Amino acid sequence: MCIIIKLRNQRRNYDMAKTVTIGKSDVTTTPLGLGTNAVGGHNLFPNLDEEAGMAAVRAALDSGITLLDTAFAYGLGRSEELIGKVLKDYDRSKVIVATKGAQIVHDGQTTISNQPDDLKRFVEASLKRLQTDYLDIFYIHFPDETTAKDQAVATLQSLKEQGLIRAIGVSNFSLQQLKQANKNHQVDVIENQYSLVHRQPERDLFPYLRSEHISFVPFFPLASGLLTGKYENQPQSFPKDDMRSQDPNFSGNRFKAINEAVAGLSPIAANHDATIAQTVLAWYIKNPDVTAVIPGAKTPEQVTSNAKALNISLTDEEYNMIDNAFKPFE
């Protein structure tokens, strides 16, 4: 009983009044969600605890966060299965489930397909794993090399008209591929890499999104933990099966420069009695070009800590200070 009361109090303490709309759809959600690549994503992270992953999903929903972002590629469907188990204990109509598909795995080999028949199969398979009869957002996870992108989106539009999906998304698409996909103005949202240390989208992608009323959801918003301040300029080494082992942000002079910029956020964080990670998330929430931010988490504690970013209202001066501190990074 004490635990239930605590969770309800947490929910009241977070500012969930603000919602955002996904593109031209009728999907609305909190501007902060949960990225679930560490929930069942055994192919991405070593030694994951599935019970802790499901507890993280529950913590998000109990905190009032409504957006769960998953994909077939996260554990080859395992993330979706674990989320499906959790969803049975919640009001499905109050949860925004976003998933992605494009991968065909056969005999240990992965190929990418955007072919209409494959997209239909991907959606059907995700529905089964998630134990739901509709998806709020379905993203084409990666572009293939052969399918006309407007044809792929037309397939999703048909599924949308059937009520199987509510919003159409693409992910990892270049600007040119997005323009092809959006030929008939049917794309609602794109999910691409963007963070304070990966800012290329500001120059080429964001102006087009504004003109077409397409929402933007960044992945890796905390740069795999680098923007949380936890590394404190200490050299890092990761196992070969950890994706950070190949990330140039974690080595050399760039690693040092990023950590110095992160350390510079401490006074702003102190102004709000917040952590650096919460302050960075608050910057994305205030950013007019970011619709929703989806930090990942492996534990319930990380989720509830991230949720506190919804209570932080950066001043324009603070927002610009953070913006300028990371301008040198591409």
The dihedral through the CA atoms of 19, 158, 172, 188 has a sign that is: negative
Q: Which two tokens stand for residue 127?
A: 């529905």
HSE-CB at 270 with a 13 A cutoff on CA atoms is: 5
Active site residue 194: no
The DSSP bridge pattern shows strands 165-171 and 135-140 to be parallel
Q: Which two tokens stand for residue 191?
A: 């999910």
The DSSP bridge pattern shows strands 28-29 and 20-21 to be antiparallel
Report, in this order, helix, strand and coil percent for the chain, each rounded to 5.
45, 15, 40
> How far is the C-alpha of 259 from the C-alpha of 253, rounded, in Å?
10
**Catalytic residue among 14, 74, 194, 284, which?**
74
> How far is the C-alpha of 68 from the C-alpha of 299, rounded, in Å?
15
Q: Which two tokens stand for residue 33?
A: 């969600």
Q: Which of 293, 258, 212, 214 is nearest to 33 (CA)?
A: 293
* β-pair partners for 293: 32
Catalytic amino acids?
A: 74
